[in-house]
Each structure stands twice: as structure tokens, then as C-alpha cells.
Amino acid sequence: MTTHADSPPTAPARPPVRRRASTGARVLAGAGAVGGLTVLGLAAWITPDAAGHGTHTQLGLPDCAWAQAFDKPCATCGMTTSFSYASHGDLLGSAATQPFGFLLAVMTAAGVWGAGHVAATGSMIGVAAARLLNAKVLWGSVALLLIAWAYKFVTWTGSTGGL
């Protein structure tokens, strides 16, 4: 028979360890938040082109050489317009213009909030978010981009007038 005296000693209970992001990670998150906010701010500053493409020229960028050469949309055609619609609060217009652009605009907005939270509080949520960037997600994103490109081919109205 064992007695209480024969039991192994127990270690004192430790308080839970609360991990925080490093200073470097917080600075990087802050830079990411500012970068995303800058993109969304520029998108809100410009007016989405009703043609569904060509909005980028308001930023001083040249016309799309692909669209001019082939009179077909490039893989990123309508992204700036989609971001602009989303930044103006027209989510349906954003999705109808360029579905992948809509997805990126929403993810950019979510990223601004998440990165800002990490920068301000030292939260480790950024580590969890970074784990989502695996090969399956990246290949899935490429597939969604290609599907959205096919959608732009179907809805393409031509490169005349502002591209």
C-alpha cells in the first residue's frame, strides 16, 4: 500500500505564459497596415471607370498594352476598378467588375485591421494568419485568378475609350 508520503512531489502551478509579437514583427505589421490603407485610400480617391477597366490611368499609369495589342483583358484587368468600387462601398459593383479583385479588396481591408491589431497590441494573430499561406491556398488563389480572368473574357466590352 502506498501512502501520501510515497507520492512524488508536484511542481507549483505556473501562471500561463502570454506570448507577444516581437518589436520587429509589430513594426512590420504596422507597415503592412499603412501599406494596405494606402492602397484602399488611393482606390477611394479615384473614380471607378464604368467600362470595368482603365481606372488605373487616373493614377498616371499607362494604358494596358495587353488590351491594346489583343483587344482582350489581361489577367489583372479590372483590379483597380474593382478596388475602387469596393473602397466606395459598392461591393456588388466590385464583385461584378472583377471577382478576384473584390476578394483581394476585402482581404486587404481585413489585413489592415489585423495588421493594425498586431502593431497596436502585439497580438500573435499574425502568426496564425501566416500559417494560412500554404501551397494549397496559393494554388487555389492562382485558380481563382484564372477563373476571374475567364469571367473578364466573357464580360469584356473592348479596349476602346480610356484604356
- What is the model's pLDDT at position 8? 67
pLDDT along the chain (163 residues), means of 10: 63 72 92 97 93 88 88 91 95 96 96 94 86 91 95 82 42
- Going from the C-alpha of 58 to that of each of 39, 80, 119, 120, 123, the distances in angstroms are 14, 10, 32, 34, 37
- What is the model's pLDDT at position 144? 95
The runs of H, that is alpha helices, within the chain are 23-45, 65-70, 79-87, 91-97, 99-121, 125-131, 135-155
Give, as one character, the DSSP assignment of residue 73.
Answer: -
The pair phi, psi for residue 156, each rounded to 5°, is -65, 135
CA atoms within 13 A on the CB side of 66: 10
Q: Hey, how many other C-beta atoms are within 10 angstroms of the C-beta on 72?
A: 14
Q: Hey, how many other C-beta atoms are within 10 angstroms of the C-beta on 71?
A: 12
Taking the C-alpha atoms of residue 22 and residue 4, their distance in angstroms, rounded to an integer, is 45
Sign for the pseudo-dihedral over CA of 77, 80, 83, 89: negative
Give, as one character, the DSSP assignment of residue 71.
Answer: S
- What is the model's pLDDT at position 69? 87
- What is the model's pLDDT at position 163? 41
Taking the C-alpha atoms of residue 35 and residue 124, their distance in angstroms, rounded to an integer, is 20
